[in-house]
Structure 1
Amino acid sequence: MMANTARLRPLAWWWKKWTKRDWAIAAVAVTAFLFLLSSLSDDPRRDRGPGARLPAADLVDLTLLRDADAKGALCLDGSAPGYHFSKGFGSGFDSWLIHIEGGGWCDSLSSCLSRAKTKLGSSAYMEQQVSFSGILSSEPSQNPEFFNWNKVKIRYCDGASFSGHPQSEPKDKKGRIFFRGQLIWKALMDELLSAGLSTARQAFLTGCSAGGLATLIHCDDFRKLLPKDATVKCLADAGFFLNEKDVSGKDTMRSFYHNVVQLQGVQESLNKDCVASKEPSDCFFPKEIIKTIRTPVFLVNPAYDFWQIQNVLVPEGSDPSESWKKCRLNIRACTSSQLKMLQEKFQCNVWAHMQ
Structure 2
Amino acid sequence: MKKLLWSLTLFGLTLLILLPVNGMVEFDEMEWFTDFNGTKMFQTEGDIYSDAKFPVVGLTLIQSAAAKGAVCLDGSLPGYHFHRGSGSGARNWLVQLEGGGWCDTIRNCVYRKTTRRGSSKYMEKQIPFIGILSDKAAENPDFYNWNRVKVRYCDGGSFSGDSENKAAQLQFRGKRIWLAAMEELMSKGMRQAKQALLSGCSAGGLASILRCDDFGNMFSPSTRVKCLSDAGFFLDAIDVSGGRSLRRLYAGVVKLQKLETKLPRDCLNSLNPTSCFFPQNLINQIKTPLFILNAAYDSWQIQESIAPKSADPSGSWHDCRLNYAKCSTSQIHFLQGFRNRMVNLVKGFAKPSKNGVFLNSCFAHCQTERYDTWYSKNSPSVKNKGIAVAVGDWYFERGGAKLIDCAYPCDKTCHNLVFRG
1:265 alignment partner in structure 2: 258
Note if 1:139 corresponds to 2:136. yes
Q: Does 1:182 align with 2:179?
A: no
**Counterpart of 2:79?**
82
Name the amino acid aligned to 1:347.
Answer: N
Are the counterparts in 1 of residues 64 and 180 from structure 2 also a CA contact under 8 Å? no
Match of 1:314 among 307, 311, 317: 307
Size of the alignment, in residue pairs? 308
Q: CA deviation at 1:109?
A: 1.0
1:160-199 equivalent positions in 2, closer than 5 A = 160-166=157-163, 169-172=164-167, 175-199=168-192
* Deviation by residue 1:185-238 (Cα, 9 ceiling, x = unmatched): 011111111111111111111000000000000001100001211111111111
Q: Residues 135 and 344 (structure 1 numbering): CA distance in 2 closer, same or farther, change over 3 Å?
A: same
Aligned to 2:103: 106
Give the deviation of 1:336 after TM superposition.
Answer: 2.5
CA contact (8 A) 1:68 1:80 kept: yes
1:119 aligns with 2:136: no
Structure 1 window deviating more from structure 2 (258-267 vs 148-157): it is: 258-267
Q: Counterparts in 2 of 1:56-95, with a 5 A limit?
A: 58-95=55-92
Specify every segment of 5 or more residues in structure 1 that has no aligned partner in the other structure, as ranges: 1-33
Which AA in structure 2 matches 1:237? D
Contact 1:287-1:350 at 8 Å conserved across structures: no
AA paired with 2:307?
V
Query: Identity of counterpart residues, as a percentage?
Result: 50
Per-residue CA deviation, residues 135-161 of structure 1 (Å, 9 max, x unaligned), is: 111111111111110000000000000
| Change in 2 beyond 3 A, CA 1:223/1:39 | farther
Q: 2:292 aligns with which of 281, 299, 305?
A: 299
* Equivalent residue for 1:342, pick from 335, 339, 351: 335
> 1:35: how far off?
11
Q: Which runs of 5+ in 2 are unaligned?
A: 1-40, 349-421
Distance of aligned partners of 1:39 and 1:219 in 2 relative to their CA distance in 1, 3 Å threshold? farther
Question: Is the 1:200–1:227 contact (alpha carbons within 8 Å) kept by the matching residues of 2?
Answer: no
Aligned letter for 1:144? Answer: P
Higher relative contact order (CA 8 A, sep 6+): 1
Deviation at 1:265, TM superposition (A): 1.6
Q: Distance in 2 between matches of 1:38 and 1:81?
A: 36
Q: Secondary structure at the match of 2:211?
A: helix
* Among 222, 226, 244, the residue aligned to 2:215: 222
- In structure 2, what is the Cα distance between the partners aligned to 1:188 and 1:308? 29
> Structure 1 residue 329 and structure 2 residue 332: aligned?
no
Give 3-state SS (helix, strand or coil) of 2:309's partner. Answer: coil
What's the offset of the Cα at 1:353?
A: 4.5
State the one-letter code of the partner of 1:104.
G
Matched with 1:29 is: none
Secondary structure of the 1:348 match is helix
Alpha-carbon distance, 1:177 to partner: 0.9
1:37–1:275 CA distance, 2 compared to 1 (3 A): farther
- What secondary structure sits across from 2:127 in the alignment? strand
What amino acid sits opposite 2:213 in the alignment?
A: D
Please state which structure has a larger fraction of its residues in strand. Answer: 2
CA gap 1:39/1:280 in 2 versus in 1, 3 angstroms? farther
Q: Is 2:245–2:311's contact at 8 Å kept on the other side of the alignment?
A: no
**Judging changes above 3 Å, is the alpha-carbon distance between structure 1 residues 176 and 321 closer, same or farther for their aligned structure 2 residues?**
closer
Which amino acid is 2:330 matched to? S
1:249 aligns with 2:252: no
Match of residue 207 from structure 1: 200
2:296–2:342 CA contact under 8 A, matched in 1: no
Choose which of 274, 288, 293 in structure 1 pairs with 2:267: 274
**TM-score normalized with structure 1 length:** 0.83
Paired amino acid for 1:200:
A
Amino acid paired to 1:119: R
What is the distance in 2 between the residues matched to 1:150 and 1:236? 19
How far does residue 351 in structure 1 lie from its aligned partner after superposition?
Answer: 2.8
Letter in 1 for 2:211: H
Who is 2:126 aligned against?
Answer: 129
